[in-house]
Structure 1
Amino acid sequence: MRDGTIVIAGASLAGLRGAEALRANGFTGRLVVVGDEPHPPYDRPPLSKHVLTGEIPPGATTLPGVGALRAEWRLGTPALGLDRDGRALHLADGGRVAFDRLLIATGARARPWPMPGEARLAGVHTLRSRDDATALAAGLAARPGRVLILGAGFIGCEAASSIRALGLPVTVVDPAPAPLAGALGSVIGGFVAGRMEAAGVDVRLGARVTHLEGDRAVRRARLEGGGTIEADLVVVALGAVRNTGWLAGAGLDADEGGLSCDGACRALDAAGRPVPGIFAAGDVARFPHPLYGNRPVALEHWGNAVAQAAHAARAMLDGPDSVEPYGELPAFWSSQFGLNIKSLGLTEGADAVAIVQGSPRTGRFLAVYGRAGRTVAAVSVNAGRWLPAYEGPIRDGALFPPITGGADQPRPEPMPPGLPAHEAA
């Protein structure tokens, strides 16, 4: 069906690319894009990098293609509720938008500091949206005496890199044993920690902040077990929460971890049944990944948002039975402290890692992750040219490690990756 009304909830990367895919595949009906922010869809990766350093103004992050899309834009107007029976969205301005089909692409938001009063202190920032980046860049321009970053995940580490590039003192606190330990494990994270320290970052691992203190403006952080860190700007980088709260009462299987959907991107109801006419894509979507035993995953990857939105668009137009189960190979990249980190696959649940190309001593290497003797992921550090060779072995679940014996390869020595405990699928 290529006519009628399709509403896209979420003026995000996934929302924009989904809308483009609908038009490219022949949809001729009414297309409405609803977004909670006043800005047209924009690119998020530069926010923690070039926007913070002043190389790119926040307004220059608008995604290409926005002006060419034939759609009605309802920006700055969040969706407050979903009327499944009436097939309509309820909006914050009191409006109601009816649909024949709906694509939910509301993404995720930064997880806030858990004490609201402390989170409202001047100088306390999160970093997820364009407005977040604008406010944080302005705070950095005031040359704070010390910046404290809570969390050493990708956003926390990228922000630390950008802020050090501005010549500002930075302390990073995380309860994990290494930066990026949740995503890459402590083996690779330990290498990143060395780079951070070499760049002048005060890295406090195995430490936890319990309170932020100050009179109107933040002045210090109190540590668990005693001690404080003086700081007059704090970046809260504690991960993301999927934007599903507005779906409360709609009878869908949705929580802070995402909106569950099937391999055709159809949203699932509370009983796990596909809901006709309602689809999901991007950061908000939690789907069964066929490469990982169909265990539910939710990805915050740029490439996934684009690919899944296009997959959902095809299913919306040609029917769910017209598409294979969605199974794009997860991939992401990060730039920090002179490192270009790229990844294929999911490291979650891996029980071994091996350096199969290069060496951490040279700052250029590739690591492969295994689970139960099979290859599940690969991560390159300043060595992206080696990564494509591992796409096939990851897709095929090849024996771990999959490629050995090359003239320029070190002898693989598998070791525990230092990832968080994971329940077997």
Structure 2
Amino acid sequence: MADALVIVGASYAGVQLAASARELGFDAPIVLLGDEVHAPYQRPPLSKGLLTGKTAVDQLALRGPGFFAEQKIELRLATRATALDLAARRVQLADGSHLDYGWLALTTGARCRPLRVPGAALQGVHELRTLDDALAVHGAVSGARAGTRACVVGGGFIGLEVAAALTAAGAQVTVLEGQTRLLARSFPPAMSDYVAQAHRQRGVALELGRGVEALLGNAAGHVESVLLDDGRTLPCDLVVLGIGVLPNVELAEAAGIACAGGILVDGCGRTSAPNVLAAGDVANMELPHLPGDLGRLRLESIQAANDGARAAASVLVGQPQPLTAVPWFWSEQHDLKLQMAGIPAHGDPTVLRGDMASDRFTLFYLRDGAVVAAHTVNRPAEHMLARKLIANAAQIPAEVLADPAADLKPFSIPQPRG
């Protein structure tokens, strides 16, 4: 199968790339390799509905049972690629066999950043990235007594989603965050303060600006407390780690493919190696279309993975179409639906539309007078509109943006240039 497309990583990006290749008319063999035993599945419910019991495992399938056969995509599960031979266009597998390729796509995703402190390997200490991880956390909570004490290390999106889900499941949750505010990399202080207050109001305890020195266990080897950097210990029955991820670039780096904070790709997912593409969480992609000339970013979101995979698939059929979609993300925490569009930069002026106390508002970000990003809470229609405003680089007076009664739809219509 020297003309085959081999995709390493049965992730959102990997599945979408295979599907888009077929949609665009790519008719050579496609082999999709996944190192898990599970067929490709949805990841957002892992930190949300699966933990609370609202989502069952059999509801997680990313595609229907007949999809891969119908599209003539060979799905190989529990199959790990160990090396790439770019000169021979060959993928070496863990079982000693190999696959030859005409095109190779790396959609290897990311893995949890480890917590390097004493006690991190104790029983009751969990990561949350895979289905097996989520099932282990769910089992620990559902099998415990009422009022289980849980410590979540990390106040990013995953950590806060887990905190909300564990609270809903009846646990007493404390979030430990090394920064002095939540979501410091993504949100300005006003949004960080809002999220912190929202969690406290819903029963989550927050320890901000606190580091973890060690996890302490009992005689049976199970975690029983967290030692903080101020000398205090917090008793706990369960610890969930959410301190970020690391892109899985090892295969690419070992083969000599250019990497820096991810596999370096252009707007179509092309790497530095001939006939090798990359997409998803592992890809550090050129994004010249974004306001402010951000250059490139590694975007950790389902939509970015799918959009990047579609762009990469266009290369396979000789009709390259760079990614142009406005990046957007979402997070569900308690009864709050947070939706984010665009990439704000530090210092961008903001305009608040609505009242934060109502849990229904939008915070717009401006740059040179244009809307470049928006964070909405429980306003999905306004989020959709904001994406159009960002794509149009809409110039809207601040007093109009701030007025909930003002109609912003006319500003979303592209204006003739020249």
The within-5 A match list for 1:156-235 is 156-215=159-218, 216-235=221-240
The number of residues matched between the two structures is 397
Contact 1:34–1:75 at 8 Å: present in 2 too?
yes
- 1:298 corresponds to: 298
Q: 1:198 to 1:27 in 2, by over 3 A?
A: same
SS in 1 for 2:67: coil
| Residues 400, 123 of structure 1: alpha-carbon distance in 2 compared, 3 angstrom cutoff | farther
- How many Å apart are 1:247 and its aligned residue? 2.4
Q: Which runs of 5+ in 1 are unaligned?
A: 269-274, 411-425
Label 1:401 to 1:299 Cα distance change in 2 as closer, same or farther (>3 A). farther
Q: Distance in 2 between matches of 1:397 and 1:408?
A: 20
Give the counterpart letter for 1:11 in structure 2.
A
| Structure 1 contact 350–369 (Cα < 8 Å) conserved | no
Using the TM superposition, give the Cα deviation of residue 406 of structure 1 relative to its aligned residue in structure 2, in angstroms: 7.1
Report the alpha carbon displacement of residue 108 of structure 1 after superposing the two structures with TM.
1.0
C-alpha separation between the residues in 2 aligned to 1:45 and 1:249? 31
Task: Show structure 2 runs of 5+ residues with no match.
Answer: 407-418
How big is the shift at 1:171? 0.4
2:51–2:134 CA contact under 8 A, matched in 1: yes
Conserved in 2, the CA contact under 8 Å of 1:375 and 1:401? no
How far is 1:185 from its partner? 2.3
**Superposed displacement of residue 246, structure 1:** 2.5
Q: Secondary structure at the match of 2:400?
A: coil
Distance 2:403 2:169 in 1: 42
1:402–1:262 Cα change, 3 Å: farther
Q: Counterpart in 2 of 1:309?
A: 309
Q: CA deviation at 1:226?
A: 1.6
Give the TM-score, by structure 2 length.
0.89
The root-mean-square deviation of aligned C-alpha atoms, in Å, is 2.1
Whether 1:148 aligns to 2:145 is no
* Superposition deviation, residue 139 in structure 1: 0.9
Give, in angstroms, the shift of residue 249 of structure 1. Answer: 2.1
| Contact 2:351–2:402 under 8 Å retained in 1 | no
Shift of 1:118: 2.3
Corresponding position of 2:24: 25
The CA distance in 1 between the partners of 2:399 and 2:320, in whole Å, is: 32
Partners in 1 of 2:99 and 2:180 — Cα distance? 48
Partner of 2:88: 86
Amino acid at match of 2:280: G
Letter in 2 for 1:123: G
Q: In the alignment, which residue of structure 2 is the partner of 1:259?
A: 263
- CA distance in 2 between counterparts of 1:176 and 1:189 reads 11
Matches within 5 A, 1:306-385: 306-318=306-318, 322-355=319-352, 357-371=353-367, 373-385=369-381
Aligned sequence identity (%): 35
CA distance in 1, matches of 2:347, 2:44: 26
Please tell me whether the aligned partners of residues 314 and 321 of structure 2 are also in contact (alpha carbons under 8 angstroms). Answer: no
Question: Could you list the per-position Cα deviations for residues 14-62 of structure 1 after superposition, in whole angstroms to 9, with x for gaps in the alignment?
Answer: 1111111111222222111111111111000011111001122234311
Q: In 2 relative to 1, CA 241–44 (structure 1 residues): closer, same or farther, beyond 3 Å?
A: same
Residue identity matched to 1:193: A
- Gap change, CA 1:131 and 1:175, over 3 Å in 2: same
Cα offset, 1:387, TM superposition: 2.2
State the shift of 1:75 in Å: 1.1
Letter in 1 for 2:138: A
CA 405–398 in structure 1, closer or farther in 2 if over 3 Å, else same:
closer
**Structure 1 residue 134 and structure 2 residue 138: aligned?**
no
Deviation, 1:83, is 1.0
Rate the CA distance shift 1:349–1:371 in 2: closer, same or farther, 3 A: farther
User: SS state of the match for residue 84, structure 2?
Assistant: strand
Contact 2:42 2:62 in 1 (8 A): yes
Distance in 2 between residues matched to 1:200 and 1:379, nearest whole Å: 24
Deviates more, 1:149-158 or 1:300-309: 300-309
Asked whether the equivalents of residues 31 and 72 of structure 1 are also in contact (C-alpha less than 8 Å), the reply is yes
Give SS of 1:200's match: coil
TM-score between the two structures when normalised by the length of structure 1: 0.88
Paired AA for residue 263 in structure 1 = G
